[in-house]
Amino acid sequence: MNAIFPWSAPATPTPITRPVPGETLITAQELQERVAELGAAITRDYAGRDLILVGVLKGVFVFMADLMRAIHLPISVDFLAISQYRPGERGVRLIKDLDHPIAGRHVLLVEDIIDTGLTAAYLVRTLQARRPASLKICVLLDRPHRRLIDLPVAYRGFEIPDAFVVGYGMDYKQQFRNLPYVAVLQGVNGRNT
């Protein structure tokens, strides 16, 4: 220990470890096949209706781009952005609103991941207040065993375990969004929100 600077670092520095993608949870091929199935179901269910996909930025953009190409109907798209949970803050807040009205339209809220359901429930309440003709949820990744609020999910891609995941648009500190598959992130405690 250094007498002048008792808080000095030890002579041998501790190596810095960074989180890295680990086990592949869902392959690129599995993602594409399931998105095609979801697109076919949505095409069938919304035939003849005025459908708008509403995505929640940023994690949803890759999934939503593939999903909209798998829907063989005239559709519109719009996006919302919300604040992330931060210590000392209550819940979430809208930081980017829709650009177009949804009153009287059939709205499909598209999410990358639903965990507790708190964020999705907030978004459903927010959108329902705008009087759409209908409002349903489509989610790529679902963790129903962690749900605190019961949400009717109309279209579900995959049910996943309780782990932090990255890839296919989902990130850790803005990294790993470009992975073409979904992987468990090693070296991180916690879950995606």
Specify the CATH number for the domain of residue 50: 3.40.50.2020
Residues 104-153 have pLDDT tens digits of: 999 999 999 999 999 999 999 999 999 999 999 999 999 998 899 989 99
What is the Cβ-side half-sphere exposure of residue 90, based on CA atoms within 13 angstroms?
0
Asked if the structure places residue 129 within a domain, the reply is yes
Average pLDDT, the chain: 89
Asked if the structure places residue 1 within a domain, the reply is no
Asked if the structure places residue 185 within a domain, the reply is no
Question: How does residue 93 score in pLDDT terms, banded at 50, 70 and 90?
Answer: confident
Asked if the structure places residue 14 within a domain, the reply is no
pLDDT at 189: 65
Question: For the chain, what is the domain count?
Answer: 1
Whether 115 is catalytic is: yes
- Top pLDDT among 92 and 68 is at 68
Q: Which distant-in-sequence residues (6+ apart) come within 8 Å of 4 by Cβ?
A: none
CA distance 161 to 181: 16
Tokens coding 25:
């949870």
What percent of the chain is predicted at pLDDT more than 70?
84
Residue of 115, 142, 150, 162 with catalytic role: 115
Which residue segment(s) compose the domain that 36 sits in?
A: 31-161
DSSP string, 54-107: EEEETTTHHHHHHHHHH--S-EEEEEEEEPPP-TT--S--EEE--SS--TTSEE
How many CB atoms are closer than 10 A to CB 92?
A: 17
Asked if the structure places residue 77 within a domain, the reply is yes
Asked if the structure places residue 181 within a domain, the reply is no
Q: Is the pLDDT of residue 16 over 90?
A: no
Give the mean model confidence (pLDDT) for residues 157-167: 95
Length of the chain: 193
Asked if the structure places residue 90 within a domain, the reply is yes
Asked if the structure places residue 117 within a domain, the reply is yes
